[in-house]
Structure 1
């Protein structure tokens, strides 16, 4: 019974739900169809876009191919024109070479002459007041073609102008740079093309800066502005001329005088010179004393009976006073007197010898000091510029020379004075021995 009821209920339920399911399936089907239609329309639209893009690409490709063909045709035309132009240029060059002939060599000669004239006008003192043809000369130097007749005439006139200027002595106004770097206008005489002469002497002309400056050192009896004015008026005033146009005057500064050499020695060099002066004074004084003593001894030898105030006279005085003593006592007294006289004769010679030995040592000290200074300069600035190290090297070399120069005359003076002193001592000893022998003979006869 219960089963029948359950089956009946299921049948009723399926009868009720069946229309609802059918309706849901129909709606789902319609939705699916709608989406298919939309997707199909979208695919059609995309196909149209692809076809349009393909057409555009083909059109661009065709245009590029046409452009390539056009460029290729133009390239062929240009290549043919280039070959024709090359052949034409070769024919024209050959024709130019045949027509110009020796004019090419002439152009080279003219240009070389123009360069030399340009250099002369740039650095010579004649450019101060004789540079009217500078522009023409510069045009010829910079030209790439054959010069014109006017340019050749200008070059010729420029050369003639420089030749005429080289024989003139003219008063000019030039820019001058003094030692402090200040520039001013000064009056000077241009001596041809060889140099400028101002109030202080020769002036160095700087063509790059168009200004003059004084040379570091002037020659002896060199011309000045006043002497050149007298020469311009009378024409007979002598003048020292530098034919090298400044080269010899520049080298003159590299030849220092004796005082400048001595100044390069520094403090050590001055000390060495002081020792040399002291030693020479001692040597001169002792030499005079020994020479006077030698003359007095020579006179005393001629008159031994009258002892004088000299070394031999004092020895003779001792002999006269001590004749009553024994031979041994007299010998000792004479020896004592001779030793005292020897000390007086050799006075100052030890100092002279010391100074002679000390001078080279001071020279070596100056050498070491100069080399230390040189190495310090090398450490600070390097060794690229030798002029930076010149100060220390000059001190090192000059002090060595001064030490040797001071030692040699002092040693020579010491040797000469020692020889003179030794000769006098030998005379005194010889006379003393003769007097002791005479006293011994007297004692022997009395016995």
Structure 2
């Protein structure tokens, strides 16, 4: 009940509070608005005053510039007049120079014609000398003699340039110098000269050692051939030396004391030796055949070993049988001796039984004699087939390379073609001797078999002719 009595008083208090709060807020807003208006009016006045002062200052500056321009007007007119005079003088000088240039061109043309008339056939001579000097310089740069006379190329180059000019003629001494260099090149081609030269070994190490120059053909050092690189002038060991039969002269040249020795020379200054060094050896050729090439080589080795072994065995049996033929009464440990022993054991039997026993003995002795012949015969047929297989495989590789990279680069096709040709050659190399060995061994085995069969038939005939 007390709560309901205090409620009207509380509502009256709150109403008075809100009225006072609204009045205070309105007073504050009015004061702020008035202050803002006063501030804006002062800023505009100041701005207007500043614009007035700035306009006056610009007028003063423009007036000063106008006064200055009026004062210098006479001076600018004088400068313009000077520039026009200078241009007229330059144009007059240009016309004078053009006339002088035309006169000089005419004079030069006349002098050239007069020089050509006076030179006459000498002009052709100088052209020939220039051509000879250029050719000689190219030959000397690639010559082995260059290691002893490295300065002659510069002299020939200067002489050639001088021959191409018309302002200075060569002297007789310079022409004789060209002749002397050509003569010296021919003379040095017949000499063997030993000198100390820096050489680059295959290991990459550069050493100074004795180098023997054989004319203009070979460079030999430490029983090896070397080459001279024309672009750099360095002496370099060949990556691979030629085969041993070409190295005898290089090996004996260092220890020679005036005697005549056989020597292999390269007439094209080392290119043949380089080509011979790049030629594949026997093992490298077999490697080019790939897996099929190795199979053919192994097959050939087995065939040769088997054929030699069987042939020696048959020769041994043939000797034993020949000895047995001389001593039929004493059967030994050999095919014929065992057949004779079978006859001795069964000669008391009837003729049919004896014939069966001897036939059985002959059939027992024939297989060991013919052992291995079938393998030799098959190998003679299989070897070329393996070579054909390698040929087909190599051609497949070649066509794949052509498909991927085209036929522009022969090196891409060389591997497949090499494998194709190498396997074919290996197959034929194995097949031909195998066929010959098979015929040789087969003929020996056939001879022994015929001797055994003939003796067996002879024993049966002898038993049939004897009285019962």
TM-score between both structures, scaled by the size of structure 1 = 0.71
Question: Match for residue 152 of structure 2?
Answer: 133
**1:51-87 CA distance string (max 9 Å, x none):** xxxxxxxxxxxxxxxxxxx9xxx9xxx99x97x9898
The answer as to 2:206 corresponding to 1:184 is yes
SS of residue in 1 equivalent to 2:206: strand
Of residues 114, 117, 122, the one that matches 1:95 is 114
Deviation at 1:220, TM superposition (A): 2.2
Of residues 289, 293, 297, the one that matches 2:317 is 293
Of residues 307, 314, 318, the one that matches 2:331 is 307
Distance in 2, Cα, partners of 1:315 & 1:299: 14
Deviation at 1:173, TM superposition (A): 2.4
Q: CA RMSD in A?
A: 3.4
User: Taking structure 1 as reference, are residues 100 and 408 closer, same or farther at Cα in structure 2, changes over 3 Å only?
Assistant: same
Of residues 142, 160, 164, the one that matches 1:123 is 142
Distance in 2, Cα, partners of 1:247 & 1:405: 32
Deviation at 1:175, TM superposition (A): 5.2
The answer as to 2:234 corresponding to 1:196 is no
Deviation at 1:229, TM superposition (A): 5.5
Of residues 415, 427, 434, the one that matches 1:403 is 427
Question: Match for residue 326 of structure 1?
Answer: 350
User: Taking structure 1 as reference, are residues 243 and 412 closer, same or farther at Cα in structure 2, changes over 3 Å only?
Assistant: closer
User: Taking structure 1 as reference, are residues 373 and 198 closer, same or farther at Cα in structure 2, changes over 3 Å only?
Assistant: farther
**1:7-39 CA distance string (max 9 Å, x none):** xxxxxxxxxxxxxxxxxxxxxxxxxxxxxxxxx
Deviation at 1:241, TM superposition (A): 4.8
SS of residue in 2 equivalent to 1:148: coil
Deviation at 1:257, TM superposition (A): 4.5
- Alpha carbons 1:175, 1:210 under 8 Å: kept: no
Question: Match for residue 19 of structure 1?
Answer: none
Question: Match for residue 148 of structure 1?
Answer: 170
The answer as to 2:123 corresponding to 1:104 is yes
Question: Match for residue 419 of structure 1?
Answer: 443
- Alpha carbons 1:282, 1:348 under 8 Å: kept: yes
- Alpha carbons 2:225, 2:241 under 8 Å: kept: no
**1:343-376 CA distance string (max 9 Å, x none):** 1111121222222222222222222333333334
- Alpha carbons 1:217, 1:253 under 8 Å: kept: yes
SS of residue in 1 equivalent to 2:151: coil
- Aligned positions, number: 365
User: Taking structure 1 as reference, are residues 335 and 210 closer, same or farther at Cα in structure 2, changes over 3 Å only?
Assistant: same
Distance in 2, Cα, partners of 1:310 & 1:222: 57
- Alpha carbons 1:137, 1:154 under 8 Å: kept: no
Distance in 2, Cα, partners of 1:392 & 1:130: 47
Question: Match for residue 250 of structure 2?
Answer: 223
Greater mean alpha carbon deviation, residues 348-357 or residues 157-166: 157-166
Distance in 1, Cα, partners of 2:111 & 2:181: 35
**1:143-166 CA distance string (max 9 Å, x none):** 422542164355345445545654
Deviation at 1:278, TM superposition (A): 1.5
The answer as to 2:438 corresponding to 1:430 is no
- Alpha carbons 1:130, 1:161 under 8 Å: kept: no
**1:418-437 CA distance string (max 9 Å, x none):** 22222322222222223333
User: Taking structure 1 as reference, are residues 306 and 241 closer, same or farther at Cα in structure 2, changes over 3 Å only?
Assistant: closer
Distance in 2, Cα, partners of 1:156 & 1:409: 62
- Alpha carbons 1:121, 1:131 under 8 Å: kept: no
- Alpha carbons 1:130, 1:165 under 8 Å: kept: no
Deviation at 1:273, TM superposition (A): 2.1
Greater mean alpha carbon deviation, residues 197-206 or residues 106-115: 197-206
User: Taking structure 1 as reference, are residues 319 and 110 closer, same or farther at Cα in structure 2, changes over 3 Å only?
Assistant: same
User: Taking structure 1 as reference, are residues 404 and 168 closer, same or farther at Cα in structure 2, changes over 3 Å only?
Assistant: closer
User: Taking structure 1 as reference, are residues 190 and 414 closer, same or farther at Cα in structure 2, changes over 3 Å only?
Assistant: closer
SS of residue in 1 equivalent to 2:397: helix
Distance in 2, Cα, partners of 1:169 & 1:85: 58
Deviation at 1:318, TM superposition (A): 1.0
- Alpha carbons 2:266, 2:273 under 8 Å: kept: no
- Alpha carbons 1:262, 1:269 under 8 Å: kept: yes
User: Taking structure 1 as reference, are residues 174 and 375 closer, same or farther at Cα in structure 2, changes over 3 Å only?
Assistant: farther
Greater mean alpha carbon deviation, residues 350-359 or residues 148-157: 148-157
- Alpha carbons 2:212, 2:221 under 8 Å: kept: no
The answer as to 2:277 corresponding to 1:253 is yes
Q: Specify every segment of 5 or more residues in structure 2 that has no aligned partner in the other structure, as ranges.
A: 1-90
**1:384-418 CA distance string (max 9 Å, x none):** 33344333322221221111111112112222222
Greater mean alpha carbon deviation, residues 367-376 or residues 350-359: 367-376
The answer as to 2:380 corresponding to 1:360 is no
Deviation at 1:255, TM superposition (A): 4.8
- Alpha carbons 1:322, 1:330 under 8 Å: kept: yes
TM-score between both structures, scaled by the size of structure 2 = 0.68
